[in-house]
Amino acid sequence: MILGLIPAAGKSTRMGRPKLALRLGECSILEHVIHALRAGEVEHVLVIVGPHVSELIPLAQAAGAEALLLPNETRDMRATVEAGLNHLEERFRPQQDDAWLLVPADHPSLDPGIIRQLAQAKQERADLSIFLPSFQGQRGHPALIAWKHVTDLRENTRDTGINAWLRRQSAETLEVAVSDPGVLGDLDTPEDYLRWQQYWRQRI
């Protein structure tokens, strides 16, 4: 079992407005991410929504994901992710060899094929437990993480954050080389949004 977790509780400070509700083509950014996960055969997708962006809930649900509305704003992404992990654990009771995908919500170029590559790598390399896509030697998103790491992640990310925790797990990590530079993409500023709009128009 692979569970998808999308933290969507940020304040979009650099964008100046809720970025995940912005549209690219016929869908919002958040919907693009969820659609990619579902197409990548991730059956259960959870979006963790902050109270200041509750308008994301119907978008998430319409795209086939479950939305968890937090009662209060979280202080950082780690706290948002932890709330999501708690919810997934309570609902699905994952086993140690199950896995979860940590998926940035502002990743509109997410390709379902990348998700399938990570899942295939997990099947082929049972000796490893964290799988990251890599384009030309640079790590990207999303991260596929065995559930056995959840306890350690909860206990050891309070001061360093999830990315720093991931960097410390080199002995457990496989970087999966991919040909898609989109694994490095994100969307933070109005300039980023303009570039993504241009990219999307070229795809049509």
Q: How many CB atoms lie within 10 A of CB 46?
A: 25
Task: Return phi, psi of residue 178, to 5°.
Answer: -125, 160
The verdict on pTM exceeding 0.85 is yes
The lowest-confidence range among 66-70, 86-90, 157-161 is 157-161
Q: Provide the CB-side half-sphere exposure for 55 (13 A, CA).
A: 9
Instruction: Dig out the tokens for 27 from the structure.
Output: 């869908």
Given this model, what pLDDT does residue 173 score?
94
State the pairing for strand pair 143-146/99-102: antiparallel
Where do the structural domains in the chain lie, given as residue ranges?
2-203
Q: Output the average pLDDT for the chain.
A: 87
Q: Specify the amino acid at residue 135.
A: F
CATH 3.90.550.10 corresponds to the domain 2-203: yes
* Mean predicted confidence (pLDDT) in 105-121: 90
Give per-residue pLDDT as tens, 9-67: 776 555 555 778 888 888 888 999 999 999 998 989 999 998 888 889 999 999 999 99
Closest of 163, 172, 62 to residue 104, by C-alpha: 163
Q: For residue 121, what is the enclosing H or E element?
A: helix 112-124
Please report where in the chains the tokens 């954050």 appear, as a residue: 161
Torsion of CA 108, 112, 116, 121, to 10 degrees: -30
Task: Report d(CA 49, CA 80) in Å as an integer.
Answer: 9
pLDDT attached to residue 5: 97
Higher confidence at residue 77 or residue 142? Answer: 142
Sequence-ordered strand ranges (E) for the chain: 2-8, 23-24, 27-28, 44-49, 66-69, 99-102, 130-135, 138-139, 143-146, 173-177
Whether residue 71 has a cis bond before it, omega within 30° of 0: no
Higher pLDDT, 190 or 45: 45
Name the residue with tokens 């959870």: 46
pLDDT above 90: residue 156: no
